Amino acid sequence: MDSLQKVVDFCMRHQTILGCSTVSLLTAASEHIFSSAAFKCPCNSKNMLYGSSFLLAPAFVLFLFSFMVNPSTWRLLTGKCSAKKHCEYNSCGICARFCQLWVPMIAKASVAPLTWIAAALLGANYYECAASGSSLMERFYCKGNGTDCRKELLDCFFFGSLAALQFVSTFVGILS
């Protein structure tokens, strides 16, 4: 019974960290399943839009969902959150109010979307798809080689063989 109490005490002391870790783990696992089951680059001129959509749209949905399930958001929106309780009015009243109320809510809501983006960039599939449809990438790899190079780039000829794209995606994923 004593060891159970220690576990409960530990969980209560580290509730925020454990919650964020659980959300991150579930988000990373969901991204892996989603990219395996639902994502297939179309390998045409829509690569940039398609890859970017699969990278950013789920992150945006997760951000909104995280705000919706946060009890602080609902207390603030329904008026049950007293501004006097949370904020000291000083010379920077509006800034202090913003920082004390919104910054923690935004930080908590950002855990899942940032995990999604980091996991997606580490996998490199979305980034490779989006980059292959980019005119910047075409100029970099095709440097005047004509339309054949552009066609090969859009036809996913390079996928898996462009170590530079995978490196950039992984590097950005690690930074985020």
User: 126-173, pLDDT tens digit by residue?
Assistant: 888 888 777 777 777 777 666 666 666 666 655 555 666 666 767 777
> Is the pLDDT at 24 greater than 60, yes or no?
yes
Q: Mark out the alpha helices in 70-162 (DSSP H runs).
A: 71-78, 83-86, 93-109, 111-123, 125-132, 135-142, 147-154
34 assigned to some structural domain: no
89 assigned to some structural domain: yes
Based on its alpha-carbon atoms, the radius of gyration of the chain, rounded to whole angstroms, reads 22
8 assigned to some structural domain: no
CB-based contacts of 35, cutoff 8 Å, min separation 6: 54, 120, 123, 125, 126
11 assigned to some structural domain: no
161 assigned to some structural domain: yes
111 touches 119 (CB < 8 A): no
100 assigned to some structural domain: yes
23 assigned to some structural domain: no
- Provide the residue range defining the domain that includes 59: 44-175
19 assigned to some structural domain: no
pTM over 0.95: no
* Total number of domains constituting the chain: 1
